[in-house]
Amino acid sequence: MKRLLLCLFALALAARGAVTTPDEKKVTVIRESFRVELAIMARYRADPIKGYDDVRVMPAAERFFADAPLVGLPKAAVESLIGTATTQMYGNGETFIIREILYDESGLVSGIKKLKSR
């Protein structure tokens, strides 16, 4: 229910002209819907060594990559959400969540590949 309300809020902002393109609208909805997950993942990317202590990073990354509608977004939009690396890795030193973001020839996300951590 909370995510639905956040999505509706983001769409209302977009309708008022704060956001102009469909990709910007989608990024706004993703940012609002996955605000906590993106914050946890960003803190981990900033300092992975300290991030190993954060037990929330793996569930956050798993939720984000499973539920965020990234397919169809341009590379620049994805980079604004999760950084420039094509391969994203989050873990605690023993177990990792590794995802490779796949792009088509036009630079749009075509899929997310789950890679094995061991």
The pLDDT tens digits for 20-78 are 788 888 998 999 999 999 999 998 888 877 766 678 888 999 999 999 999 999 999 99
Domain ranges of the chain: 34-115
CA 36, CA 92: separation in Å to the nearest integer? 18
Secondary structure, 3-state, 68-89: CCCCCCEHHHHHHHHCCCCEEE
Residues contacting residue 111 through CB under 8 Å, at least 6 positions apart: 71, 102
Short-list 97, 93, 94, 102, CA closest to 115: 97
